[in-house]
A and B are shown apart, each in its own frame.
Chain A
Amino acid sequence: MTDAAPKLPVSLQVNPKLSSWVKFESDGQVMISPGKVEIGQGIVTALAQIAADELDVDFSRVRMVRTTTAGSPNEGVTSGSLSIQQSGRALRQTCAEIRHVFIAAAADRLGVETGALNVSDGTISGPGNVRTSYWELADEVSLDRDATMDAVPKPIAKRALAGHSVERLDIPDKVFAHPRFIHDVSLPGMLHGRVLRPEQARAKLLDLKEDAALKTPSLVAIVRDGNFAGVVSETENGAEAALVALRKGATWSAGDVLPDENNLAAFLKAQPVESTVIDTRTTATPARTARTLRRQYTRPYIAHASIAPSCALAQWTGERVHVWTHSQGVYLLRADLALVLKTPPENITVEHLEGAGCYGHNPADDVALDAVLLAKGASGRPVRVQWSRADEMTHAPFGAAMAIEIEADLDAKNEIVGWRHSIWSNGHAARPGRAAKPALLAGFELEDPFPRVISANPPQANGGGGDRNSIPLYDFPAWTIESHRLLTMPIRTSALRTLGGQGNAFAIESMIDEIAHLRGEDPVAFRLRHLSDERAKEVIRAAARRANWKPAAKAGSGYGVGFSRYKNTGAYCAAVAEIEGDEEIRVKKLTLAVDVGEAINPDGVINQVEGGAIQATSWVLKERVRFEGARITSNSWTDYPILRFSETPQVEVEVIQRSDIDPVGAGEAAHGPVTAAIANAVFDCLSVRVRNLPITRDSLIAAMESSP
């Protein structure tokens, strides 16, 4: 080879052994072990498609193994829309190499040139009807070898499954109520645990009278360690009753006062910060600035609000503990558990079971530590712990609130000649397993506590955090992008879908829309004129075409457009929103176009984009974590409403299939563009720019009163 050897996909660099990914079973099946987990996004099916394709085995022979620290490849965390990119590429390469190795072994055994052999459904055959199979050869072909990049995956035209909408593997179990969720798993001898948490933020447990709880039926143990307290019972009902009794016996300190929920920008801008210049661009020939538009945008704290409260199971055997979790990263959770327990990670096995929809760093990891701590009081029996709805809504990390200021310098023709974008926000990542100190809730509550983690931001090279999607894709001649990360954190924040991407896309795309309007220029045309990336232009054109941009004005209706490329390196997405507005806003229809490169499972991509669009609509129209004094008050579905069936817009998604381009994820592509499209449609309808999310009756009135 004259070229430098191609680099192994990132997950293969960390886990090069072919045997850690694939195993042929004697019953004619093939076990595929990804390090990424199913979180409701359909990833397991897409990975199975890739594996079956490269191995040339029937899809029905593929068995997907649940991720566990007892043997799965370590692929870090299932997040950031990276699973197809990381796990998918690793599996494609692994399976191509395995196929290659088996063909060589078959050629030896059959006395035929490798080039004369074909693989069909795992059977390797050649001229003269000679044949063998993966399963016949499995004993003599060792896969305990490292990936080499010696084999090349199939050309696109030969892929039979990738690129097609295969039905998801997990859906039948879910419609027939076969136990698949962690919540539905029952282990022999299993006990139930509940944890007592304060209503006031970070309140300390000053006194705990246990007598009443001790008298509740079926009680096994009360576990207390500093501010951490919980109950273990023979039954779930018993655990609930014991918790009620324990709560009555608890005396708490006053909690920490939280910021003013109605003035988040002032709070964010008044905190000590770490400031970083994310990007600058200058021009040798600066144009004269005739005027500067200065606008501020905010988004509130947003809750994960999964339909299921987080749940985990744990069982101690001597010094060792086995944990069942819906965490996004089993190895990362194990690392933090080891820190809290002060035990080597080898003493801990963390195994994944599916939870309900996961949109980022929710309490899955926290409840796993809760279960581990409560199981200490269970004499070796497994303990299942489930959070309450209220705890799920108040003690989970939230998506961070953001204040974003954009200054656009315009020349005499209102063309953009300079652009400054500044973000004030807490960090958007405090995931477990990444630092020397654990990031698990109970770890902060122990008698000998670990310090509360202040969220950080991933570097821009990994997509950034609060600064995600803050660098415009538009060809402005000059810009400065700055991020101010808060060094205080009264409200716990961590990764929620898109991190800062939704807020930044909302701000940029709102400002763009405003300038286009100022110029009297069509906002689609304005965007196209400022983009040079053809894939970016194509999703905007496709969405506009499909939405018949721009439909004739109707009283009470409005249309808006939004665009972003997730992380500036991932999926391209454009959205057109059609809304109806008066005192309230109803989103009638969203039309999206998305380009993820090769769409492995097009219907899976549509499902993710459609889901993202609807979730974003919910964020925009309804969602805002509420707090007063020292208490988070949005602790139920009444106080934290989300979009309902009757409020859900029609959604159309067009996938631009580019089979020759490496695939990227789809799960976070829609949130930014949809948020902006709705806000811009509100302006089109009511001539009001709402710059503070969510867009509610209150924020509409406030915007009318203060509108520049």
Chain B
Amino acid sequence: MPSIRFRLNGAPTEVDADPDRALLDILRGQLGVIGPHFGCGSGECGACRVMVGDHAVTACDTPLWSVANKDVTTVEGLGNAKHPHPLQRALIAEQAMQCGYCVPGILISAAALLKQKAKPTEAEVRAALDRNLCRCGSQNRIVRAVLRAAHETAAP
């Protein structure tokens, strides 16, 4: 079995697995990283989104080989309770979820957006999140949270 190396949330990581397997399966299975969630398995709902480099991708249809030597960031890599990412802080401040199952993928899409554009407009936030589905109807709160994070992060 070939071994694939990449950086996972900053840490050098080596995986022995069939390189055609889905990144999500590797993350949640042998690596035990449960932030990215399985929702559909066909890249349609966005619950499994991770960043590869600076781009948000759906891990359920991203083959392992394609992340060789790249940086993979999951929601765990954004921040933690002690050192939260501004988006994580903002989601709490806006109470921006109901069930929260879609949230890890949405945080990644939003983080990728903010890397590209520090102060997006509301329409840009909605466009960036358009491939993430939320079934509980928390879209507006999430958009507010992303705008809040952008506002709080951008230098005055």
Across the two chains, which residue of chain B brings its CB closest to A611?
Answer: B137
Q: Does B51 contact A (CB under 8 A)?
A: no
Residues of A within 8 A of B126 (CB): 645-646, 648
Instruction: Return the CB mask of B132-146 against A: 1 if under 8 Å, else 0.
Output: 111111111111000
Q: Which positions 2-42 of chain B face chain A at CB distance < 8 Å?
A: 21, 25, 28-29, 32, 34-35, 37-42
Inter-chain contact B44/A176, CB cutoff 8 Å:
no
Interface-forming stretch among A488-496, A592-600, A612-620?
A612-620
Say yes or no: A603 contacts B95, CB within 8 Å: yes
Known contacts A386-B38, A646-B126: A235-B137 contact under CB 8 Å: no
B122 CB to nearest chain A CB (Å): 10
B97 and A171 contacting across the interface, CB-CB below 8 Å: yes
Can you list 16 A-B pairs with a CB-CB distance of less than 8 A? A165-B95, A176-B76, A176-B88, A181-B37, A181-B101, A306-B99, A306-B101, A309-B38, A355-B99, A357-B135, A603-B95, A610-B141, A612-B137, A614-B139, A636-B40, A636-B42
Task: Mark A625-656 against chain B: 1 for CB-CB distance below 8 A, else 0.
Answer: 00000000000111000111110101100000
Which residues of A lie under 8 Å from residue B40 when comparing CB positions?
389, 636-637
Is chain B's binding surface mostly helix, strand, loop or mixed? loop
- Distance, CA A235 to CA B74, complexed state (A): 22
1/0 per position for B99-117, CB-CB distance to A under 8 A?
Answer: 1111110010000000000
Q: Does A13 contact B (CB under 8 A)?
A: no
**With A177-B75, A236-B29, A308-B47 in contact, do A356 and B140 touch (Cβ < 8 Å)?**
no
- Choice from A172, A181, A354, A614 contacting B140 with Cβ under 8 Å: A614
Q: Does A305 contact B (CB under 8 A)?
A: yes
Cα(A645)–Cα(B130), bound, Å: 5
Number of interface residues of A (CB under 8 A): 57
Q: Which residues of B contact A172 (CB under 8 A)?
A: 81, 92
Write out the residue numbers on chain B whose beta carbons fall within 8 Å of the beta carbon of A176: 75-76, 79-81, 84, 88
Question: Assuming A168-B95, A307-B101, is B136 touching A177 (CB within 8 A)?
Answer: no
Give the docked Cα–Cα distance between A307 and B132 (Å).
10
Chain A positions 577 through 620: 1 when the CB is less than 8 Å from some CB of chain B, otherwise 0: 00000000000000000000000000100011011111100100
> Smallest Cβ distance from A181 to chain B, in angstroms?
6
A305 to B79, CA, bound (A): 30
**What mask results when residues 366 to 408 of chain A are scored 1 for a CB within 8 Å of chain B, else 0?**
0000000000000000000010110000000000000000000
B121 interface residue per 8 A CB criterion: no
Kindly list chain B residues whose C-beta atoms are within 8 Å of the C-beta of A388: 41
Contacts of A305 in B (CB 8 A): 135
B45 within 8 Å of A (CB atoms): yes
B57 at the A interface (CB under 8 A):
no
Contact A309 B139 (CB under 8 A): no
Stretch at the interface among A36-44, A55-63, A499-507: A36-44
User: Bound state CA distance, A392 and B75, in angstroms?
Assistant: 26
How distant is the Cα of A42 from the Cα of B141 in the complex, in angstroms?
15
Asked whether A530 is an interface residue with its Cβ less than 8 Å from the other chain, the reply is no
A residues lining the B interface (CB < 8 Å): 39-42, 165, 167-168, 170-172, 174-177, 179, 181, 183-184, 186, 235-237, 305-309, 354-359, 386, 388-389, 603, 607-608, 610-615, 618, 636-638, 642-646, 648, 650-651
A301 to chain B, nearest CB (A): 17
Q: Please tell me if B150 contacts chain A, counting CB pairs below 8 Å.
A: no
Partner of A645, one of B45, B74, B76, B143: B143
Nearest-Cβ distance from residue A234 to partner chain B, whole angstroms? 11
Contact B39 A309 (CB under 8 A): yes
Query: What is the CA–CA distance of A209 and B125 in the complex, to the nearest angstrom?
Result: 50
Q: Are A171 and B137 in contact (CB under 8 A)?
A: no
On chain A, the residues within 8 Å of B134 by CB distance are 307, 645
> Chain B 61-74, CB within 8 Å of chain A: the 1/0 string?
00000000000001
> B residues 77-101 with Cβ under 8 Å of A?
79-81, 84, 88, 91-92, 95, 97-101
In the bound assembly, the distance between CA atoms of A42 and B98 in angstroms comes to 7
Closest CB in chain B relative to A415 CB, distance in Å: 38
- Contact of B45 with A179 in the complex, beta carbons under 8 Å: no
In the bound assembly, the distance between CA atoms of A52 and B136 in angstroms comes to 28
CB distance from A642 to the nearest CB of B (A): 6
Q: Judge whether B129 is part of the interface by a CB distance below 8 angstroms.
A: yes
CB closest chain-A residue, reference B136: A357
> How far in angstroms is the closest Cβ of chain A from B52?
18
Closest-CB distance, B118 to chain A (whole angstroms): 20
Closest B residue to A326 by beta carbon equals: B99
Q: For residue B59, give the distance in angstroms from its CB to the closest CB of chain A.
A: 13
Distance (Å) between the CB of B98 and the closest chain A CB?
Answer: 4
User: Are B139 and A308 interface neighbours, CB within 8 A?
Assistant: no
State whether B136 touches A183 (Cβ < 8 A): no
- Contact present for B130 and A610 (CB under 8 Å): no
A171, A642, A643 interface centre (most CB from chain B within 10 Å): A171
A594 to chain B, nearest CB (A): 14
